[in-house]
């Protein structure tokens, strides 16, 4: 298969889905407001998918990100509750950093266990998925955690900001992070190592790439992105919820795979993952607007994931010599 097709496929898919729902759904679907809504709805999965892009390119997977997102919402809410009214201006920032750091620490643990004991990432993160979920519930005392209102709550509001902002701040953040990840993957030594690790770990080792360290860094990045996604989740809910984002890890993996990431490692792009997240948001939103029942949504999303993986296999067969 030509590499071009695999790269273009997610864009074409997104365009096709958008056109399709423009026909099926009421006119409100392609209005500016709904467009902004779709963008906002793609933020959490999108940011998670950017982190997952590193992990998947490196030949790994991280199933614990959903739990990490929940952890982050709880930790953020708890952190905000530490201050007394009026809240000091740095507190929301510190809470945001705590959420991100919590994700990163979870990721370090994932990477350490995977690299140090040479265990399959799937199993390790399947385990930590439960552990982190448990940790989130413990942190939250098995309840949702309310928090004082701050500017954080506005991050995911479609029309919250000044007019010139046009879209929700979270969407801008998603776009900026996408650009940053794209640059890291393409223009840095670290990015090159991520691809090398996923394409052939033995070759990377042979060339002196510090394989274990890189794995830990990669999972830490994946976790940190989950932490940021968690902050966005918090903004959405305006409270910390230990049961938030259950099953979202699969949406995140799906977004990366739809966007051209290969679960065999060595392939994947930041822009692709963004498009994957947008495609899923368009599907969900479009189905709702068109009154398509929920069960059909599930079936459609599932079929698209399989289709994307099918393309991936096709590519693998084509390049085998």
Partner 1 sequence: MVGELSKPHLSGPHLNEPRSGRPILRVLGVKKAFGAAQALRGADLEVLPGEIHALVGENGAGKSTLMAILGGNLRPDSGDIAFRGEDWTPAGPAEARNRGVSLVHQELALVPHLNVESNVTLGNEKARFGFARSQADRVRAALEELGYADLDPGARVGSLGMAERQIVEIARALFHDAKLILMDEPTSSLPARDVERLFAALGRLKARGIAIVYISHFLDEVARVADRISVLRDGATVAAGLPADTPTPDILQAMVGRPVAEIFPPRQGNLGGTVLEARGWVSRPGAAPADLSLRKGQILGLAGLVGSGRSALLRSLYGLRRPVAGSLAIGGEAELARGWTLERARASGIGFLSEDRKDEGLALGLSIRANSTLGELRRFANAAGLLRLDAEAAAVETMRTDLAMRSQGIEQPVGELSGGNQQKVALGRLLLGDATVWLLDEPTRGVDVGAKAEIYRLIAAEAAQGKAVIWAGSYLPELFGICDSLAVLHRGKLSPIRPISAWSEATVMAWAAQGVHA
Residue ranges binding partner 1 (CB under 8 A): 187-190, 192-193, 195-196, 199-200, 202-209, 266-267, 319-321
Q: How far is the CB of 195 from partner 1 (least distance, A)?
A: 6
Q: How far is the CB of 217 from partner 1 (least distance, A)?
A: 12
Q: How far is the CB of 114 from partner 1 (least distance, A)?
A: 20
Phi-psi region of 162 (alpha: psi -120 to 50; beta: other; left: phi over 0): beta
Residues, the chain: 321
Q: How far is the CB of 318 from partner 1 (least distance, A)?
A: 9
Nearer to partner 1, 199 or 238 (CB): 199
Bridge partners, 145 (sequence order): 240
Nearer to partner 1, 161 or 266 (CB): 266
Q: How far is the CB of 186 from partner 1 (least distance, A)?
A: 8
Contact 232, 44 (CB under 8 A): yes
316 token code pair: 């693998």
Nearer to partner 1, 144 or 200 (CB): 200
How many other β-carbons are positioned within 10 Å of the β-carbon of residue 154? 15
Nearer to partner 1, 62 or 267 (CB): 267
Contact 101, 229 (CB under 8 A): no
Q: What is the DSSP annotation of 108-160?
A: HHHHHHHHHTT--HHHHHHHHHHHHHHHHHHHTTTS-EE----GGGGTT-TT-
Nearer to partner 1, 133 or 193 (CB): 193
Nearer to partner 1, 279 or 308 (CB): 308
86 token code pair: 């009026």
Radius of gyration of the chain (CA): 19
Q: How far is the CB of 192 from partner 1 (least distance, A)?
A: 6
How many other β-carbons are positioned within 10 Å of the β-carbon of residue 90? 10
């Amino acid at each position: 298969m030509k590499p071009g097709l695999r790269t273009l496929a997610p864009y074409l898919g997104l365009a096709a889905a958008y056109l399709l729902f423009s026909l099926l759904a009421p006119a409100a679907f392609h209005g500016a407001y709904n467009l902004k809504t779709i963008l906002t709805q793609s933020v959490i999965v999108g940011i998670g998918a950017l982190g997952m892009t590193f992990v998947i390119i490196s030949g790994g997977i991280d199933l614990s990100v959903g739990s990490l997102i929940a952890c982050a919402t709880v930790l953020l809410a708890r952190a905000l509750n530490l201050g007394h009214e009026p809240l000091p201006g740095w507190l929301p920032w510190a809470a945001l950093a705590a959420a991100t750091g919590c994700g990163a620490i979870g990721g370090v643990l994932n990477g350490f266990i995977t690299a140090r004991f040479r265990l399959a990432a799937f199993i390790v993160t399947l385990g930590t998925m439960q552990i982190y979920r448990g940790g989130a519930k413990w942190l939250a005392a098995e309840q949702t955690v309310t928090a004082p209102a701050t500017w954080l709550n506005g991050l995911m509001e479609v029309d919250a900001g000044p007019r010139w902002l046009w879209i929700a701040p979270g969407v801008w953040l998603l776009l900026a992070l996408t650009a940053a990840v794209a640059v890291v993957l393409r223009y840095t030594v670290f990015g090159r190592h991520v691809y090398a690790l996923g394409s052939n770990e033995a070759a990377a080792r042979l060339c002196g790439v510090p394989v274990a360290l890189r794995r830990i860094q990669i999972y830490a990045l994946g976790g940190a992105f989950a932490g940021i996604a968690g902050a966005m989740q918090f903004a959405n809910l305006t409270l910390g919820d230990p049961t938030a984002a259950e099953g979202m890890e699969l949406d995140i993996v799906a977004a990366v795979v739809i966007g051209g990431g290969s679960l065999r490692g060595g392939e994947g792009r930041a822009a692709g993952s963004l498009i994957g997240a947008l495609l899923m948001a368009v599907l969900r939103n479009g189905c709702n607007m068109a009154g398509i029942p929920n069960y059909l949504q599930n079936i459609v999303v599932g079929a698209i994931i399989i289709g994307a993986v099918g393309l991936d296999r096709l590519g693998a067969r084509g390049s085998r010599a």
